[in-house]
Amino acid sequence: MMVDGAEERQLKGPIEVLAPYTSPRRRVVQREPRGGGPSRARDGHPKEPPSASCELSSKNHSTAIGDAMREEMTRRRVVVSSTDVVEVITEAIPTLEPGEALVEMLVSGLCGSDKAGVHGEHFFVKPPYYLGHEVVGVVVAIAGGVDNVDVGDRVTIEPSLVCGRCKPCRHQAENLCENLEFFGCGYREGGMADVFLAPAARLYKIPNTFSDYQAALIEPLATPVHAVRLAGDLTGKTVAILGAGTIGLLTLIAVRRAGATKIVSTDTLATKRDLALAMGADAVVDAAVDDLAGVVREELGESADVVFDCVATQVTLGEATKMAIKGGTVVVLGGSRKPATLDMPVIQEFQIRIQGATTYRWEDFDDAVDIIASDDFDANRFITATFPLPRAAEAFAAINAGGEVKILVVADRDDR
């Protein structure tokens, strides 16, 4: 499927910017950590997570952006228009809907689900769709009735757009919403754009002390924080982590913070194994070795109490199960691209628990912020490559190559 007015371009080539973008208001974005304490939407999030429903009033609170929108000022946004085709299109900025905020992008991260979606391999999200669920930006306009964020606030988004009415939502499991939409993954808006619209109720204020790089890791870290929560108490436990990409390394940090006594990480790339050691793994193992489960168990000195599978292939699930024999838990948080089979007699007879883990809840964002704010967390270890918005296709070529950890698409405006 083609997007009107856009030329099709393959991932390997550069992308032409179809029209310039001028920021609606001149502003200096402070790139280094700033003074002041954390500031969170709704004074620390409500006990009941807000739904994405909108209020009726839609008065624009920013005269500059309102005038620009009436003049049909354009924005650039990144779209996966078809399998293996990433392009930048130019279009008019849409009008704010009730309950929404208009946010100006600062940085937007790429993750494994984006890579799978571009290649048409994501189990649930298929092209065409608009990218950008790991996004940091500044609110430049809000619709009437929005009271949890203000113009000028720096925010990230909790991209699970939930109904608030279904059984999971009523039982504090809104990440499993039966009517779930996901910002940047099939929703009408994504954050990889000059500006984007977002349900204001799902915006999360960023602490003033955080750099944009730190803020870009809040959403990715919330995923392993949630997975660790599901695994149960890790105090004194032995843990194996399969995969040392972004999620695997962030899982390592969350597991260490949760009190695990010994952690072994695996990966096929030596550079990522080295990173795992630097970030607190007690030992690392080349994932390509024969009898991976046996080598990991030897490094642990016993079976793994918990295995976090951040790869989720047929091979890794099989190895994770063997590492957990007997009585261990396998937490699957990697985005599996196809169905896999498990050795059910072994799982039943050896009482192995298989636990799926998907996305996060509000408290996982809070815990992620606390971890990032700690003195021993270095965001620069994770952010290994950046690309300006017009070169988004090059960013996806880089993620395909596999050598980077976290790649960011960054704003390229000359008024920053």
Interval 214-241 mean pLDDT: 97
Contacts of 309 (CB under 8 A, 6+ apart): 242, 243, 316, 317, 320, 330, 331, 332, 333, 334
pLDDT above 80 for 396: yes
What confidence score (pLDDT) does residue 116 get? 67
What confidence score (pLDDT) does residue 27 get? 30
From residue 156, give the alpha-carbon distance in Å to each of 97, 216, 257, 379. Answer: 19, 8, 23, 16
pLDDT above 50 for 96: yes
Pairing outcome for strands 160-161 and 181-182: antiparallel
pLDDT above 60 for 49: no
pTM equals 0.82
Contacts of 169 (CB under 8 A, 6+ apart): 49, 51, 162, 163, 177, 178
Pairing outcome for strands 406-410 and 383-388: parallel
User: What are the residues facing 139 on neighbouring strands?
Assistant: 103
**Distance, CA of 333 to CA of 248 (rounded, Å):** 9
Shortest CA distance to 101 belongs to which of 67, 36, 53, 150? 150
Report the share of the chain in percent with pLDDT over 70. 80
Taking each continuous run of H as one helix and of E as one strand, the counts in the chain are 12, 18
E strands, 282-324, in order:
283-286, 306-309
What confidence score (pLDDT) does residue 70 get? 43
**Are 40 and 50 a contacting pair, CB within 8 Å?**
no
What confidence score (pLDDT) does residue 389 get? 96
What confidence score (pLDDT) does residue 83 get? 83
Higher-confidence residue: 402 or 104? 104
Query: By mean pLDDT, which of 65-74, 187-196, 276-285, 336-345 is the weakest?
Result: 65-74
**Distance, CA of 184 to CA of 186 (rounded, Å):** 6
Query: By mean pLDDT, which of 245-254, 304-313, 340-349, 404-413 is the weakest?
Result: 404-413
pLDDT above 90 for 219: yes
**Are 103 and 137 a contacting pair, CB within 8 Å?**
yes
Shortest CA distance to 239 belongs to which of 296, 333, 307? 307
Burial (CB count <10 Å: 0-12, 13-18, 19+), residue 164: middle
Interval 142-162 mean pLDDT: 95
Please state the separation of Cα 107 from the chain's center in Å. 12
What secondary structure letter does DSSP report for 123? S
pLDDT above 70 for 172: yes
What secondary structure letter does DSSP report for 266? E
Query: By mean pLDDT, which of 28-32, 127-131, 150-154 is the weakest?
Result: 28-32
- Residue 72: pLDDT band (50, 70, 90) is low
- Residue 123: pLDDT band (50, 70, 90) is low
Contacts of 145 (CB under 8 A, 6+ apart): 54, 55, 56, 57, 98, 99
Residue count of the chain, please give it: 416
* Angle 379-383-411 from CA coordinates, rounded to 5°: 110
Shortest CA distance to 105 belongs to which of 18, 29, 218? 29
What secondary structure letter does DSSP report for 95? P
Domains, the chain, with CATH or none: 41-217+382-410 (3.90.180.10), 223-356 (3.40.50.720)
Interval 260-270 mean pLDDT: 97
Query: By mean pLDDT, which of 106-120, 157-171, 298-312 is the weakest?
Result: 106-120
User: What are the residues facing 160 on neighbouring strands?
Assistant: 182
* Angle 80-94-91 from CA coordinates, rounded to 5°: 50
